[in-house]
Structure 1
Amino acid sequence: MTVTLQLEQLSIMPGQRIVLRDVSWQQFEAILTELGDHRASRLAYDNGMLEIRMPLPEHERSKVLLSDFVKNLLEALDIDFEPFGSSTFKRIDMAKGIEPDECFYIQNHAAMIGKRRLDLTIDPPPDLAIEVDLTSKTQLEVYRVLGVPELWRYESGRLRIDVLQSGRYVESPISPTFPDLLLVERFPGFVEMAATAGTRPALKAFRQWVKEQLQL
């Protein structure tokens, strides 16, 4: 006997995720429409498998903080960018879809100015995506197939940078976008500072550190 559940019958507590199998692309699109854009949950879709995650409040705080650090870094380096937050990136021909915690167009920023609708058959994927506590192989696989060149993963107080090389992610000690800064080494310290001293002092210290590094 097949049991059909309505989406509103599913309750996902913060910090939990559910995985639905045999979800068609049409159902995935319908779920996106039903959930709407203003929500806390994040979705990942991979060949019929749909993963719905509900982040913890501290997860949201961390992803906003990391986004602020990146924005401050881009401003300090006078690099143009377009932030796309947790926009849904999907390709029907690949049967893949993902909603990052945060993402940025940097190298391809000019092509995305004023964009209101995303079409990855025409538009490039984001140049840099950020995930906090990424534990799902589904998410990683979707990022890989969609061709996101740089993925930052912040987990357990550690920043990991993965770079797409020859179709697979390779961990890198430096960011190709910011090759002159030892972000993997220094980022966690500024995140910890934000938790103990506050966000503004941490951002101020981060900006000062970037300034000092650029003067070396």
Structure 2
Amino acid sequence: MKIPLDIPQPDLEKLIAPSIAEPRIPLYGITWQQYENFIEMFSGHQNLHLTYLQGVLEIVTLSPEHEMLKTLIARLLYIYADALDIDLFSCGSATCKSQSTNRGLEPDESFCIGDRKSFPDLAIEVTVTSGGINKLEIYQGLQIPEVWFYQRDRFSLYRIKQDGSGYQEINQSQIFPNLDLNLMAQYIRPDREPEMVRTWRKFINTPFPPKN
């Protein structure tokens, strides 16, 4: 299959050998079929994420820092769920998309709770560089119940409104109502990952762990 790429050569070079943390290349006037073609073309390139919102496609090259952060967050969450016997199903960065709302993206991490569903119950986004498409607007079109953003050593949490019209910021996760994310954020230190994982596991498995 031949897919025309109307991307300037300098932008292509940014994607292949990025000189900045996470280069973003926006493409405009992209149809749904073209978006599907891009997904197929870039399948297997785990360091590239595609974000699509009503004709605008953004291609981002993920930095090593980004990948270390999102992986460590997932490890800590697995430990918490295992210790409290929470049925956590990993969905990873699988593409979530809806042609009816003309939206699609690949979460950094995502999970279903209780059982597997068509879309995850929780999506986690790690922000290393700001800017780009409003991902909450995409998640609203996919009706993802809860979205966490991690940036600069802290979490920001959003829960979809009951009428599905948008998100409201919340102070505490409704999926994990007793998980102290401010505390968990202190363990997100990629340079000390083994130590942080072991210490978090020991804390969660104390005689009186937080209950979900």
Q: TM-score, normalised by structure 2?
A: 0.84
Matched, 1:45 2:43: no
- Residue 183 of structure 2 is matched in structure 1 by 186
The aligned residue for residue 24 of structure 1 is: 31
Aligned-pair CA distance for 1:211: 2.9
CA contact (8 A) 2:108 2:126 kept: yes
Aligned to 2:113: 106
Which residue is 1:156 aligned to? 152
Amino acid at match of 2:157: I
Distance apart, 1:136 and its partner CA:
3.7
**Shift of the alpha carbon at 1:207?**
1.8
**1:122-144 CA-partner distances (Å, limit 9, x unpaired):** x2x20111110064443221112
Map of 1:68 onto structure 2 = 75
Is residue 2:102 matched to residue 1:95?
A: yes
2:93 counterpart of 1:86: yes
CA distance in 1, matches of 2:84, 2:93: 24
What residue in structure 2 maps to residue 115 of structure 1? none
Instruction: Give the superposition deviation at 1:178.
Output: 1.4
1:151 and 1:161 in contact (8 A); partners too: yes
How far apart, CA to CA, are the structure 2 residues paired with 1:177 and 1:77?
13
Q: Please report the TM-score for the alignment, with normalisation by the length of structure 1.
A: 0.82
For residue 7 of structure 1, report the CA deviation from its aligned partner. Answer: 6.2
* Aligned residue identity for 2:125: E
- The answer to whether the aligner puts 1:126 opposite 2:120 as a matched pair is yes
Q: Is the 1:21–1:50 contact (alpha carbons within 8 Å) kept by the matching residues of 2?
A: yes
Q: Aligned partners of 1:95, 1:5: CA distance in 2, in Å? A: 20
Moved over 3 A (4+): 4-9, 134-137
State the one-letter code of the partner of 2:71. V
CA distance in 1, matches of 2:141, 2:65: 29
Alignment match, 1:205:
199
Retained in 2: the 8 A contact 1:44–1:138? no
Query: What is the CA–CA distance in structure 2 between the aligned matches of 1:135 and 1:158, rounded to whole Å?
Result: 18
For residues 150 and 158 of structure 1, do their structure 2 counterparts lie closer, same or farther at Cα, with a shift above 3 Å needed?
same
Deviation at 1:179, TM superposition (A): 0.8
Aligned in 2, Cα 1:211/1:34: closer, same or farther, shift over 3 Å? same
- Matching residue within 166, 169, 172 for 1:171: 169
* Higher deviation after alignment, 170-179 or 18-27: 170-179
**What's the C-alpha RMSD, in Å, of the aligned pairs?**
2.1
Which one-letter code corresponds to 1:189 in the other structure? Answer: Q
Identity %: 33
Q: Secondary structure at the match of 1:151?
A: strand
1 CA distance for matches of 2:83 and 2:158?
Answer: 23
Contact 1:132 1:155 in 2 (8 A): yes
What whole-Å deviation, never above 9, does each CA across 1:150-203 have from its counterpart, x for those lacking one?
A: 1111101111121112332222221112112222x21221113x43xx212211
* Deviation for aligned residue 1:92: 0.9
- Which stretch of structure 1 is more off in the superposition, 135-144 or 52-61? 135-144
